[in-house]
Amino acid sequence: MVGLEMNKESIFWLVITLSALAALGFILGESDGSPPFNSADERHSLADECIGSHDGGLAEHYHATIRISVLNENIAIPDDVGLNDNGCSMRPLHTHDSTGKIHLEFKESGVEAPLEAFFDIWGKHMDASGFDDHRVDDSHEFLMFVTEEGGERTQVNSYEDFIVKDGQLIELVFREIG
C-alpha cells in the first residue's frame, strides 16, 4: 500500500511538471522573444521614468505632434499613452487624447527627449527599419519628416535618436516605393 501511495504522489508531480513545461513551451512559442518595446536594443531610460502628475514642480512642459501613415492609412495615436502605465501615473512623454499631441514634461530643465522614448512607452517598434510590424524591404520605404514651428518640412534620417522639440510636427510614413 505504501508503494502505491508513493506512486500516486510521483505521478501527481510528474503531471504538474509536464503541465508547467507545456505551458512554458506555449508561452515561448507565442512570443518572438523580444520585449513589448522594440524601438531600440534597450528601453530608453525616459520610458521608465515616472513623473507622477502635473502637480509637483515641473521645470518644463511642451508639446509636439506626431502623425503616422502606413500604406496611405493614418494610424491613430491612442489616448493616454504613458498614463497609468505599469504602476506609474504619468511618464514624461505621454498623450491625453488621440490627436497625436505628445506632452513632454520634465522635473528638470534641459532634458533631451529622443523620439524612441515615446515609442518605448507606447510599446511600438520604430526605427529606420520601419514602424510596428511594417518593415522596409525592396518594395517599401519608411520616411520621417519634421516641420519646426513656423518652418519648412524637412526629411530626417535619425528616427529613434531624433530629439523632440516644442512645436514640432513629426510625420512618419511607411509606403510602397514608386
Phi, psi angle pair for 115, to nearest 5° = -55, -35
- Closest by alpha carbon to 157, among 177, 134, 128, 116? 128
Rounded Cα distance between 18 and 23, Å, is: 9
Q: What local confidence, expressed as pLDDT, does residue 142 receive?
A: 97
For residue 44, the 8-state DSSP code is -
Extract the C-alpha cell encoding 145: 519628416
Any idea which fold 45-176 has? Ferric Hydroxamate Uptake Protein; Chain A, domain 1 (2.170.130)
Q: What local confidence, expressed as pLDDT, does residue 6 receive?
A: 62
Rounded Cα distance between 40 and 135, Å, is: 15
- Whether 60 and 105 have beta carbons less than 8 Å apart is answered as yes
Q: What local confidence, expressed as pLDDT, does residue 27 receive?
A: 54
Per-domain boundaries in the chain: 1-33, 45-176
pTM of the complete model: 0.75
What are the helix (H) ranges across the chain? 2-30, 45-48, 115-122
Q: pLDDT under 70 in the chain at which residues?
A: 1-6, 21-41, 56
**What's the pLDDT tens digit per position in 28-70?**
554 344 444 444 457 899 999 999 877 768 899 999 999 999 9
The one-letter code for the residue type at 92 is: P
